[in-house]
Structure 1
Amino acid sequence: MEGFDNMSATEKAELQSLVAVEQQKAEFQAQVHNFTDICWDKCVDSPGSKLDYRTETCLVSCVDRFIDTTLTITNRFTQMVQKGPR
């Protein structure tokens, strides 16, 4: 990129930070999409005009497990990074 060469170090850092944030957003959206597919396949037998109690309960449970698992993994990686290499 020609314009990138003419940017100051601060501008480059800001641009890199912005790109990193956008990449995180894209990764999050991809996870949500994948998660939606998994929970849909697991919980929804036949789509209708509204969710029955069993389907709704299954979806809520699926979402809760996904969130719990994601938080557990994130916390574990955070602990590993804070401890550093051994």
Structure 2
Amino acid sequence: MNRKSGVGACPPRMRTHAGWKVPSPTRMMAELGEADEAELQRLVAAEQQKAQFTAQVHHFMELCWDKCVEKPGNRLDSRTENCLSSCVDRFIDTTLAITSRFAQIVQKGGQ
């Protein structure tokens, strides 16, 4: 394809990918309507929440694993299972308490 002659060239702000003409992300965002943009923002926020939740679970498990598991084997003994369960429960309870308190502070500040 000859770009100078314009034969087979993509329009401005278009790129090719595997033979397809693909608009740039900037152009795609500019063409979204308000409803589409709001929906996209909602989806992005939901994905961020999922990622944050997953990271939190991994963090809890890493901390609790280090605290409770002395020597990994084929099965966890009852003491290790109880320790892991209690450890995760404490983290969840603490996170919920902090979140609740933060929501109260925000609500009082908004009134």
**TM over 0.5, shorter chain:** yes
1:84: Cα distance to partner? 1.3
* TM-score computed with the length of structure 2 as normaliser: 0.74
Moved over 6 A (4+): none
- Residue number in structure 2 paired with 1:2: 27
Residue-pair matches, total: 86
Question: What are the equivalent positions in structure 2 for 1:1-86 lying under 5 Å apart?
Answer: 1-84=26-109
Give the counterpart letter for 1:56 in structure 2. Answer: E
Give the RMSD, CA atoms, in angstroms.
Answer: 1.2
More helix by share: 1
Higher relative contact order (CA 8 A, sep 6+): 1
SS at match of 1:37: helix
For residues 2 and 80 of structure 1, the distance between their equivalents in structure 2, rounded to whole angstroms, comes to: 40
Identity of aligned residues (%): 62
**Unpaired stretches in structure 1, ≥5 consecutive residues:** none
For residues 31 and 77 of structure 1, the distance between their equivalents in structure 2, rounded to whole angstroms, comes to: 18
